[in-house]
Amino acid sequence: MLERNGMQGCVPRLYAMWKEEDGQLFLVMETLKGGTLQCMWPALENSEKEVILSKLGDILSRIRKLPHGNVFGSVDGGSVPHHLFYSSVNDPLVSGPFNTERDFVRGLIARSRWEARRNGKHSYLADFFEEQLLGVLTVMNRKPVFTHSDIQRKNILVERLGGNLNREGEEFRVSVVDWESAGWYPVWWEYVAAFFAFRWSDDWCSRIVEAVDAWLAEAAMMKMIYLDLF
């Protein structure tokens, strides 16, 4: 889908895809040049980080403008591919797909209740989520946007072009890999999913807002749910 919508060069090209009898999916994809931003980050100058984050922001802005699907879920309209929505019995109340943003958040609440029942408990935390957070986190009729859902430095490849600048005069070529969790999510999910992975050990947690719109209140509230589930 990304390639069909003009994203060549910043995402790996898909050459082949098949599913084995056991349901395991295999992809044969292009190998992109560059090292991970995670390895490069400590040695980068502030000005270089600014350029790279600007290019990353452009990629994410472009995918968010893709024609939206009618449901919150996977690329093909299936269940939400993020691991927080996993259900061993493939319960659609937990895994989706969901018709509304409110149902999307309810899926996480249902997962909290399911985990509590599995341990012979009642989830009073899920009660709190449902009573207090649903109305704050969701907006009626807000549409999903296409989202990578795992923006970490290990999933960002950066090729330093050195003296061989391309015709736009760019010093770096930036691409994004590991799209297995990508799909149609609430507008705030890209930042929230990145927030889940923050280690608070360097300036990445503060500089990512140069590439991804910050949804701070949503991130703080969703972190409560994340800690309950993971």
Of the pLDDT bands very low, low, confident and very high (cuts 50, 70, 90), residue 19 is low
Q: Specify the higher pLDDT residue, 89 or 172.
A: 172
Q: If we measure between CA atoms, which residue out of 131, 7, 142 comes closest to residue 63?
A: 7
List domains and CATH numbers for the chain.
Answer: 36-229 (3.90.1200.10)
Q: Mean pLDDT in the chain?
A: 87
Q: What is the mean pLDDT of residues 129-155?
A: 93
Q: What is the per-residue DSSP string for 213-226? A: ---HHHHHHHHHHH
Residue pair 187/61 in contact by the 8 Å Cβ criterion:
no
The verdict on whether omega for the bond into residue 12 sits within 30 degrees of 0, i.e. cis, is no
Q: Rounded to whole angstroms, how far apart are CA atoms 161 and 168?
A: 12
Q: What is the mean pLDDT of residues 174-187?
A: 92
Percentage of the chain lying above the pLDDT 70 cut: 86
pLDDT, tens digit (0-9, with 9 covering 90-100), for 101-121: 999 999 999 999 999 998 999
Distance in angstroms between the alpha carbons of the first and the last residue of the chain: 30
